[in-house]
Each structure stands twice: as C-alpha cells, then as structure tokens.
Structure 1
C-alpha cells in the first residue's frame, strides 16, 4: 500500500501522505522524476526521503519506490476535487436537512467502480464522500477502499452514527482518511435527538467519536446551530474541543435544494451565517458534485442540467463549466441589485431560497435594515 502520493493538482504538482494534513508542492521536473521511478524497485530520491522524514516522520530509506509511492498521471481535465453523494438515504430524519427526499437508491457496485474510475481519471485528488449518510450504504467500505487505493485523499462527511463499528474503524485505521467530518446537532441527548428525530442518536455519535479518537483518526466537527440547540452553542464548542476536533459553525439554515421551505422552521434567530462576502466560486471549473446515479453538477446546490457520466463518460465534463457559469448569472429578482458586491449568498442557493418563498431576512441584505446602513 502506498505511503505517499504524487499528483497533479490545479496546475501544480503535490506530494501528499494519506491521513496527514501536511503536503508539499514540487516543480514539474521533480514530479517527472517520481513518475519515472514509480514502478521501479529502485530507491526513492534523497530529497523525497528527507521530505518524508521532516514532514511526516516517515522513514523510507531502503524501501523500493514501487512499494511506497503512487504517482497520479496528468489528465485532460482540471478537476482536483469532487464530492460523491453515494446515497441519499439516511438513518436520521433531521428537520434541517437540505434534501427534500432521502431515498435509499444509487448505482450497483459495478457502476460505483466505473464512477470512481471516472473521478480518478478526471484528476480528482480530494474526494468527499457524502449523502444522505454515506456510512449506511451497503457498498461504502468497498467504495472507500477503492478510492483510497486509487490515490485519492478522502474526507467523509457523516452524522457519525456508524463510526463506532469496529469494521469501519479498522478500515479507517489501515487506510487513513484525510479527515472525517462529523455533524454535531447538540450538546445533550434532548437537543440532539430532537433535531435528528432519532432516539438514542446522541449516544451513537458519542460512541463513534470515542472510537475514532482512540484510533487516531483525524476528526473535524460541523456544529449545526438551530432553535433546538442554540442555547447550547457554547457547550457544543466545548464538546468538539474535548475530542481535539477542529470545528466550524453553521447557523444559516437553507431551504431544500429543490426549493421547498420546510428546513427554515428550525432557524435560530441571531445565528444567520453572513460573515463573509461571496466572491465567486470555481464550482464546475475545478471541482464538481456527483449524485448517487452518476449525474455530475457544478455543486450539491446547483443541480441544473446534470452531466450523466455513466452514459457520456469524461467528455461530458467539458460541458460543465458552461453549465456552471449559466447558473451563476443573477436572475429572478437579483439582476441589477446594487448590493451584489457585498452579497453573502451564491446565486444557486439564492434561487433555492427564492423558490421556497423564504423571507428576505433569512438570506438577503434587503431583508435586514442594519445590514443596509
């Protein structure tokens, strides 16, 4: 199993180690040197041995290159990242969920293999498994192992309910992910179980976090602030800190991405996340989203005019930048807006709010007098 990955990435070349945050950028000449050694029984170059020792505490002296190094080839595409919604099914029933329907369906195993091969051949280095809840998919472990062995650095976006399972923990220990991001819906069973509408959910997630920390798996937490847990926001921060997890807070609840308003009912007043101005996004240009059926879109929000990778193959991705650019045009009441330079919401998400007939103060500066001053 490879210890290091050398790969093109958005016009640069990187050396990375699965499960480690640190990586290095290298020039084309050194990338080509590694490519020439990747299948050989010869030693690694001294500069890479020194780098591995300094960056990751990894001693590779005397190891044949082919046993520790995987070199990803250059491709015709500029896609370095992708998200794979392996299944929309979920074992929670969260009030705030952006999926209007959570049907347990998707590609059969041979289809998943072909899709992962397409993602690899598109140049995807960073891959996020998401859902629904990815860990409940019957093929998740096999899909994860396939992606890892293909030289992808993997993030799992999970509710954490299956993270305690010994088979999953053992796989993640042997094939370490870049990170596992667990959604935190409260600091107590009452708030957590209320939002997820699943009795015992909090205890399941705690078990998973304990197991992951014990196994040394890199953890992050997404703190989802709603009316059920806003009073526990500080306790949620402390909860994440106890597990040594980097944390990010999300206080803006969106409608479903198909434009229905139900999730907005759990918005907590005072926790709208409008801290940064939207300055553009490379969605559809350097990264993309794939749904359970192999339909590629600019992102999980902008799902218009999908590219069917299973029928079109990789050539369909050449159409994706144009599809993305069309969805970023300001329409539906946003065209000509004098506040567009300080808008906090991307156009596809604004469209979802508009289709849900959401109050302006849930997403737009025109609905908040203080922001207009």
Structure 2
C-alpha cells in the first residue's frame, strides 16, 4: 500500500500522506520527475525522501517509486474536492436533520465503483463520505477502500455509533482517513437520546468514541446545539476538550430540502450566531457534491440543476461552472434588496429558507429588515 500520494491539486502539485494533515508543495518539474519514475523501478528521488523524512518522519530512501508512492495523473478538469452522500439512511432520527426523508437506497456496487472512478478522473484529491450515517451503507467498507486505493484523502462524517465495530477499526487502521468528523448531540443520555430520537444513542456514541480515541483516529467533533441540549452547551465543549479533540460548534439549523421548516423549530434561540458576510465560494468550480444516486450539484445546499453522472460522466461536470454562476445570482425573494452586497447567506441557502416559508429573520440577519426587501 502506498505511503504517499503525489497529485495535481488546483494550479499546483502536492505530496500528501493518508492519515496526516501535512502537505508538501511540489514544483511542476519535481512532479514530472516523480510521475516518470513511477513507471519504472527507479527509487524515490532523494529530494522527496528527504522531504518525507522532515514532514512525516518516514524513511523512503532506496524504496521503489512505484511501490512507495501513488502518483495521480493530470486531468483537464479543475476539481480538487468533493462530498458524497453514499446513502441517506441513518440509525439516528435527529430532529434537526436537513435531509428530510432518509431512505435506505443508493447506487449498486458497480455504479459506486464507476462514480469513484469519475471522482479520480476529474481530479478529486479530498473526498468527504457522508450520509445519513455512511457506515450503515452495505458497501461502505468496499467503497472507502476502493477510493483510498485510487489515491484520495478521505474524510468520513459520522455519528460515531458504529466506530467501535472491529471491521471499521481494521479498515481505518489499514487505510487511514484524513479525518473522522463526529457529531455530538448532548452531554447526557437524556438529552442525546431525546435529540436523536433513539434509545441507546448516547451509549453507542460513547462506545464508538472510546474505540476511535484508543485507535488514534484523527477526530474532529461537531458540537450541535439545539433546544434539547442547550443547557449542556458548555458541558459538550468541555467533553471534547477533555478528550483533546478539535471541535466546532453549530447552532444555526436549516430547513429540509423537501421544503419543511421543522429543523428550525428545534433551534436554541439564545445560541444562534450571526453569520459572517457571504463573500463567495468555489462551489461548482473546484468542488462539487454527489447524492446517493450520483446526481451532482454545486454543493450540499445548491441542489438545483443536478447532473446525472451515471449517464453524463465527466462531460457533465464541465457544465457545473455555468450552473454555479446562475444559482449564485441574487434572484427570487432577494431581488430588489438594497443590502444584498452584505448578505450573510448565499443565494442557494436563502432559497431553501424561502421555499420552506421560513420567517425572514431566520436567514436574513441585516440590522433593519424593513428596508431590506422592496415590495
């Protein structure tokens, strides 16, 4: 199994190591040298062996380039990152979930392989596998391992309830993830099980986290605060800190993609945060999102004008840039807004709120909403 991945990335080249957040930038001539050496039994270049020793404390001296490195090929497309909902199904039933219906459905194994090949061929180096709960998908282990072998740095977003399972620990041990992002829904059994609407969720979360920490997995915690656990907000962050795990706090929920505003009803109003001014993003340009049926959109939120990769393949991705430009225009309920230049949500997110008929103050955070929209 490869120790390093050498790959094009945006307008440059990187050497990365699975399981590590450290990257080494490479000049074009160095990438070309490694790429040609990988076709033979030539050893890893001395300059790269020295860089690997400094960055990751590994010894590549004298090792064959073809066996020590996985060298990704150039692609005419500029995508570098993607997220993939492998399946919407989840073993939790969280009140705040934005997915709405969560059926156990997705691609066949053969089509999952085809999709991962498209990820590879369009340049995706960082891939986030999410759900639902991704580890419940019957093909999760095979898909994860296959993507790893194609030279992708993998992030798994999970509720941690299955991280204790031996097969998952073996998988992450032999194919190290870039990061495992775990959602935390409370600091006590009562609040955790109440928000997830599953008896035993808290116990499985703790069991999974203990196993993941003992295995040394690269964890990050997403602390989700709602009305069910708001009284435990400090306790949740303290728990993550006691584990020595990086954490981020999430307080602002969004409507479901089916048009329901139910997730907004469980927000903790005293914990809502003012979003920063939206200054644009690379959705649809260097990043995209795939749902369980390989329908691709510019991101998880802007799901209009999806592209069916099973029928269109790589050529379909060439249309994403124009779709992104169109979806980001301030249209619909935001047209005529005299303050749109300082808006705090992107246009696709505003559209989700508007279709759910959410109150204006739940997504528009301008100081004086009376002057914001002209009637």
TM-score range, shorter chain: over 0.9
- Quote the residue 1:129 is aligned against: 129
Alignment partners' CA distance in 1, 2:165 and 2:240? 20
- Quote the residue 1:278 is aligned against: 278
Alignment partners' CA distance in 2, 1:160 and 1:360? 35
1:1-373 paired onto structure 2 within 5 Å: 1-366=1-366
Contact 1:124 / 1:152 at 8 angstroms: preserved in 2? Answer: yes
- Give the TM-score of the pair, scaled to structure 2: 0.96
Alignment deviations for residues 159-189 of structure 1 (CA, whole Å, 9 cap, x no partner): 1111110110111011100000000111111
Contact 1:290 / 1:296 at 8 angstroms: preserved in 2? Answer: yes
Alignment deviations for residues 47-76 of structure 1 (CA, whole Å, 9 cap, x no partner): 111111111111111211111101101101
1:258: Cα distance to partner? 3.0
Alignment partners' CA distance in 2, 1:141 and 1:368? 50
Alignment partners' CA distance in 1, 2:271 and 2:187? 17
1:211: Cα distance to partner? 0.8
Alignment partners' CA distance in 2, 1:273 and 1:285? 28
* Number of positions where the alignment pairs a residue of Structure 1 with one of Structure 2: 372
Q: Unpaired runs of 5+ in structure 1?
A: none
Contact 1:194 / 1:228 at 8 angstroms: preserved in 2? Answer: yes
174 and 368 in structure 1: CA distance in 2 versus 1, 3 angstrom threshold: farther
Alignment partners' CA distance in 2, 1:160 and 1:339? 42
1:271: Cα distance to partner? 1.9
344 and 140 in structure 1: CA distance in 2 versus 1, 3 angstrom threshold: same
Contact 1:133 / 1:159 at 8 angstroms: preserved in 2? Answer: yes
Q: Unpaired runs of 5+ in structure 2?
A: none
Alignment partners' CA distance in 1, 2:313 and 2:277? 36
SS of 1:313's equivalent in the other structure is: helix
Contact 1:255 / 1:262 at 8 angstroms: preserved in 2? Answer: yes
Alignment deviations for residues 307-360 of structure 1 (CA, whole Å, 9 cap, x no partner): 110011100111111111111111222123222222211111111111111112
Alignment partners' CA distance in 2, 1:61 and 1:132? 43
1:367: Cα distance to partner? 7.3
SS of 1:248's equivalent in the other structure is: strand
Contact 2:274 / 2:365 at 8 angstroms: preserved in 1? Answer: no
200 and 368 in structure 1: CA distance in 2 versus 1, 3 angstrom threshold: farther
SS of 2:129's equivalent in the other structure is: strand
SS of 1:220's equivalent in the other structure is: strand
Alignment partners' CA distance in 2, 1:242 and 1:283? 35
Alignment partners' CA distance in 2, 1:354 and 1:368? 18
- Give the TM-score of the pair, scaled to structure 1: 0.97
RMSD: 1.6
SS of 1:128's equivalent in the other structure is: strand
SS of 1:87's equivalent in the other structure is: coil
Contact 1:361 / 1:368 at 8 angstroms: preserved in 2? Answer: no
